[in-house]
Structure 1
């Protein structure tokens, strides 16, 4: 949105020619900042504005110098904007004002008055929007009509970046009226009427304005392309990271596969040995099966006999308890002792008799014993022993 005042001279009030103040604004997005800086600071020879005479560019001067627009914009945003959110890519970061009049009026003012006019213009914008929000102020003397470029960052008093909130239609009309009243009248300039840019701008100013608009448009396109490039770069970076992740996962899976393959081979070998062992066990079992059956039979028979014996033992125990209970135990013990004593006496006699028989059997004694037996009328001991 642009508002301008007449820049040509007209016959006014008694034939006196009156000049009109020109204040024209163009919104600049971040993508076009580099182009505006190049144009204002004459960093490159303009190709779209043939009225620029680079041999006279040394006559240009700065009232608010700025060599790096992007850096200064970033610093001001950091210092003046309250929100921590990032600035949108398509946000208007600076509003570029062109301040001038028609070439005849400017020439009539002379160099010193021109400089005073531009200095007062910078002060007016600084007082109105804040000196800390003025990005640059450059006077171009190398074109047909001297003019001022002043950049104002649209930062509200409550710390918001919003050209829409500051430069409303009402504000733009107020700028035309109040600038002409506060600054223009001092230099014989009046407020003009609203009209088309082509009518109210001089030929040179019109060309320059179109060049700036083209730069802004191209900058916006370049910004969009940059955003697309950044998005593609980010997507490529994410794709690269994803690819690396997949590669790492594939490598880990391959390692796992190799480990599992080794484990499978080991288990197959264990299985083979186990099968061989089981085969030998089956063969051994088949070979020992008759023996095992025989042992099983014997165990069964032994269990049967054990059952019979256990039954008998139980019966004997019952009989012994009945027969050899505690009652009469002392009498039974005494009787057993006596019987054991008789047995011992008999055994002692038998031992003596055996000893006597061995003695009689001796060659020296045997004849004498036989004679003794004959004397007492008994049979020979030999015959008795033979019985």
Structure 2
């Protein structure tokens, strides 16, 4: 049976860039940047959909971003975003107020649910505009939506989008971890009180989801703890990290090129707005002047001051000029309104690209830090091993009296039992406190006790 996929990540909020990605709320320019990576197929973008309140399947609603949805739902429920309070006080927000969940499964089965027997060409740049969406993917999505509602409450779901324009169909579900008492608590809804409970809850979540996915041909994968599956080698991991850094650098470069174009477009749009504003002001002044002259001539005609025929001719001439000016003024006001809107859109797009570029740089730095950490671990491992092998050899050469001079020094323990201490440290580093305690208790020699510090 094909395997299900479930992954969730908590964050301090939802950025506009994340929201735009979930909703595909992109301009043509942003689409071009996204398509360069080869992860998206714009010819299948129309197949994407969302599941709205009540489990209703509908086209993706792009009129309101997810951050705005969050703001609206908190306002309706009278809940204050704790991160907003911290930001207002000049502090860095640290409360996990949004949980982003991905639901999916093995590619072959997900394609069967989404496209049936239709051929989907996954080659970069391929045209799949004739591919249609199957009802099975909608029914599966509604089942997953019901599962999410039962687990975390429908009122807490602020986004539920099904993407069929990537290589593997999947769901992006954004949940606010709000309790029945209308309080934000990631621990209460997801994590539990400690790492052990978090692990148990996560395993249980996979089990419960598997019951929903069973009828859709998706089963629960086995835990690495159960299978003893081999992790990637250091070389494989390092190669992946390097490739990730290269990909991120390329994407950052694309975004920086896009920013240059946007800056140029914004400058042109600003000049256009400024020019139109001047035109509108001049036309308004002209309209006011013509209106004043017309009023004076009509007053003169009424009072009998001057030649009546000449006054009527001048009034007719001014009325013609006023009509032309008023029409031109209306045209320039409309153009100014459109120019202001385009300028606002360009500024919004620039902010979104800036935000995404910042996120990419952060991801690149994290990936680079992982590479450096990996190198440090390898160097430490080599130096550590060599150091304590040599130290252990020297300890063995000492007389009992000389050994006694070291007393219960930690170096002696490392020299005598390096493997045991490192294994215990590994358990502690991984957060597996119970395992570390049990291991320490059971590795003290034949008697079962332990003098490991």
- TM tier, shorter chain? 0.3 to 0.5
Q: Provide TM-score, normalisation by structure 1.
A: 0.44
Larger RCO (alpha carbons 8 Å, 6+ apart): 1
Q: Provide TM-score, normalisation by structure 2.
A: 0.38
